[in-house]
A and B are shown apart, each in its own frame.
Chain A
Amino acid sequence: MSLNNEFKPKIVAFCCNWCSYAGADLAGSSRLAYPADVKIIRVPCSCRVNPMFILRAFEKGADGVIMCGCHPGDCHYSTGNYYARRRMTLLFSMLDYLGIERARTRVEWVSAAEGVKFSQTMNEFVEDIRKLGKNVRLEDLRCRN
């Protein structure tokens, strides 16, 4: 925990190996900065992301969770991101039901060539989460240490 009072959100970004993770690499090699609050988890495809992973992140105190995959039609496994899109739509409606601000989760399609988009997306997302403030609704205090 940083000592100053500035809110440092915890943000988990799931990135598919073939497009978005590579897009993040490109953002890195092009030195396109975004806040250090974002931590990336590599998954083979967006369809590997179980909505449960996202809920678990919130439970563990994440303030925002973003999932990035290849553009529709460009998934390395052809159809993975279509599944992911449907699953996330369902998850979003459930988050609504639970009263979690919709803006705490986001799905974005970022190709391997879109370093600029990756960085912009992360900057925007972090900004949105900072505005929303800490996620208190879903955090399970027993998970805090």
Chain B
Amino acid sequence: MQRIGVFVCHCGSNIAGTVDVKRVVEAIRTEPGVIHAEDYPYMCSEAGQQLIAKAIEEHKLTGIVVCSCSPRMHEATFRKAAANAGINSFMVEIANIREHCSWIHKDVEEGTEKAVILARAAIAKLNLDTPLQPGESRVVKRALVIGGGIAGIQSALDIADAGYEVDIVEKTPSIGGRMSQLDKTFPTLDCSACILTPKMVEAAAHEKINIYTYSEVEKVSGFVGDFKVDIRKKARYVDSTKCTGCGLCQEKCPSKKAPSEFNRGLNTRSAIYTPFAQAIPNVPVIDTENCLKFKTGKCGICQKICAAGAVDYEQQDEIITREYGAIVVATGFDTIKLDKYDEYAYSQSKDVVTSLELERIMNAAGPTKGHLERLSDGKAPKNIVFIQCVGSRCSDGRGKSYCSKICCMYTAKHAMLIRDKYPDTNVTVFYIDVRTPGKNFDEFYRRAVEDYHVNYVKGQVGKVMPQPDGSLLVQGVDLIDNKQIKMNADMVVLATAIEPDPSVRNIATMLTASIDTNNFLTESHAKLRPVESPTAGVFLSGVCQGPKDIPETVAQAGAAAVKAIGLLAKDKLTTNPCTAQADILLCNGCSTCANVCPYGAISYENIQINDHGIREERRVAVVNNALCQGCGACTVACPSGAMDLQGFSNRQILAEVDAICR
């Protein structure tokens, strides 16, 4: 028989406001096994934990039930307190009477009644708890970073500087991410490449960092501390150990009509290419869809002219398998597709561009060599209209419900840069709100208005209509003067919403990391664990977790690195002891369980059994505790009821059901 102590927390007024804690204490005193019950304003406080320890000692308790906040908040705290007081840390059950009770019910009567029932269920479960001992598992001292944008680069550098090996897996031919496509950066006006390139070079030169570009994660198995990852190195058709990066092949390649991904399709590139001049590694790849050799079998010019003999049309994709202790996801973002926003005439006019396209147009290495010109006729625009929130903060289901966060600031940047370089150009910005929370952000925006006389109009644009003379008629409203506006523009720039890179879904599935309805990776706790995924050992860096600018991305990348370092610094991890176990007297060796186990944790052994006096050798299921993650799939699959899960046994769950339905 257990000796149970029940501790009911007020959580200030968070619980006590809608649950009569005194009544809960009295109501559960007579439950089986309960020999002590009390309440306290803050159980999780030092004093609260001491009170628990004292009760354990005084009443020789064998287990405790804490009625408090969610076990996801303080289960660990109370387990530790119990262990310090000398009882097994798994002899602790939490009744969640805050998130699942006091916070959602207003009526004290109802709240109290429910809290009592939840406490009873926890007591019923605890009565069947057995002490459990966690095992140990190893920590592979290497981290994987998925995505080589500024977030991935920064996380990798920080982890490597702490002395651990890091692999970066980047799907495109070069690291750098979106930041490499930007021209200047707010809230100063630094040149993006000037601050990014040194970081790229540093990562490439770091002895602890290994970069796999043009590569993708193909398969992930294992768990925190001990992940096993298959990486597909796509065939570049250029041997990186031989290539000197001279660039002659790109010059001589006769197939030059492929749209340049780096320049957002605004110009073309050759079939053998590096995405941009500062690419790292400076080794080209062959795009087989556009390569004449691959399409027709004829050509082969690049191979002929390559003095280093690096071009190899026979190269194959290669799968490498590596082990990691920690994984940082930094897969970043893309801008949304605009097919649902036809009113802005993006598909009809070359002079309607997205902000990211404008970055390329303004960039000296871009399609117009940095001259601000209309893509239709090469003329300098005299009137430019910016439209904010295209697809952001959208309630009609066409776009995203969230604010993309960076657009107000980059548009102020664009407007200022244009007015600075081309003072004769008129710039108008249509906005819903201007959002500039951030250090020096509002000052930056005000400079655009006050010093550069950018015309900000609060209101939305309804339609952009291409005119026969090549101009664009912009129709909108001015909400402050409450009037319709019609104006002619030579160029329209759409501040297009951003969304997570589409490949993140697949990555999340492989890592069993959760994502929200917008495909942003979910953090373990929105406030307290913002860079950790709920999946142990997986950390989040950059825009894959939510919209952010570069300073925030870099800060978060550092935070994710610190968490990864904290993990890698450990020599051993304790494993979850809530694993499956077969009752050898019931198991008939049918193999059903091994078929459903996602971790291959179950094998079969022939062992001597003494079944009520009958001695015989039987084939029975044996669970490898180090591999079992405790999902419970096998327990339900087992036809003879032999398989059970420690900590969540059939009897325990049924006891909870019974207590709730009583």
Contacts and interface: CB of A to CB of B under 8 A. Distances in A.
A22 B657 CA distance: 20
B101 interface: yes
B530 to A, nearest CB: 14
Nearest to B660: A39
B105 interface: yes
Interface in A105-138: 111-114, 119
B104 A27 contact: yes
Given A19-B514, A77-B512, A83 B633 contact: yes
A56 B657 contact: yes
Interface stretch (B255-263, B446-454, B611-619, B647-655): B647-655
A24 B100 contact: yes
A103 interface: no
A41 B632 contact: no
Nearest to B99: A28
A62 B660 CA distance: 9
A56 B99 CA distance: 26
B440 to A, nearest CB: 32
Interface residues of B, number: 53
Contact of B645 (A44, A62, A114): A44
Contact of B72 (A2, A21, A49, A50): A21
Interface in A43-73: 43-45, 47-53, 56-57, 60-62, 70, 73
A85 interface: no
Interface in B94-139: 96, 98-101, 103-107, 110-111, 113-114, 117-118, 121
B596 interface: yes
A102 interface: no
A92 interface: no
A57 B658 CA distance: 7
Interface in A3-60: 10, 12, 18-19, 21-22, 24-25, 27-29, 31-34, 36, 39-45, 47-53, 56-57, 60
Contacts of B660: 10, 12, 39, 41, 57, 62
Interface stretch (B182-190, B293-301, B515-523): B515-523
B653 A44 contact: no
Contacts of A75: 512
B277 interface: no
Task: Give the interface centre of A21, A36, A60 by most chain B CB atoms within 10 Å.
Answer: A36
Task: Give the interface centre of A33, A42, A50, A83 by most chain B CB atoms within 10 Å.
Answer: A42
Given A36-B114, A60-B657, A113 B512 contact: no
B656 interface: yes
Contacts of B508: 74
Contacts of A34: 104
B636 A48 contact: yes
Given A28-B98, A33-B105, A48 B514 contact: no
A71 to B, nearest CB: 9
Contacts of A31: 103-104
A79 to B, nearest CB: 5
A53 B657 contact: yes
B101 A48 contact: no
B99 A49 contact: no
A80 B631 contact: yes
B121 A77 contact: no
Nearest to B102: A28
Contacts of A22: 72, 534
B19 to A, nearest CB: 11
A41 to B, nearest CB: 5
B657 A112 contact: no
B629 interface: yes
A77 B661 contact: no
Contacts of B72: 21-22, 25
B509 interface: yes
Nearest to B509: A73
A18 B534 contact: yes
A83 B648 contact: no
Contacts of B121: 39, 41
Nearest to B71: A42
Contacts of A143: 661
B606 interface: no
Interface in B345-361: none
B582 to A, nearest CB: 16
Interface in B500-519: 508-509, 512, 514-517
A49 B514 CA distance: 21
A58 to B, nearest CB: 9
B104 A39 contact: no
Contacts of A112: 514, 522, 534
Contact of B636 (A19, A21, A33, A87): A87
B512 A76 contact: yes
A113 B113 contact: no
B522 A111 contact: yes
A79 B600 CA distance: 13
A48 B635 contact: yes
A29 B103 contact: yes
Contacts of A60: 657-658, 661-662
A113 B514 CA distance: 9
Contacts of B514: 18-19, 70, 74, 76, 111-113
Nearest to B104: A33
B411 to A, nearest CB: 29
Interface string B597-615: 0110000000000000000
Given A28-B98, A40-B100, A113-B516, 10 more contacts: A19-B514, A25-B99, A36-B107, A41-B121, A43-B632, A43-B648, A44-B630, A74-B509, A78-B512, A79-B598
Q: 7 closest Cβ contacts across the A-B interface?
A: A28-B99, A48-B632, A60-B661, A113-B516, A77-B631, A47-B633, A36-B110
16 contacts: A12-B661, A24-B99, A31-B104, A39-B118, A42-B96, A43-B632, A44-B631, A50-B636, A51-B636, A70-B514, A74-B514, A76-B534, A80-B598, A112-B522, A112-B534, A114-B517
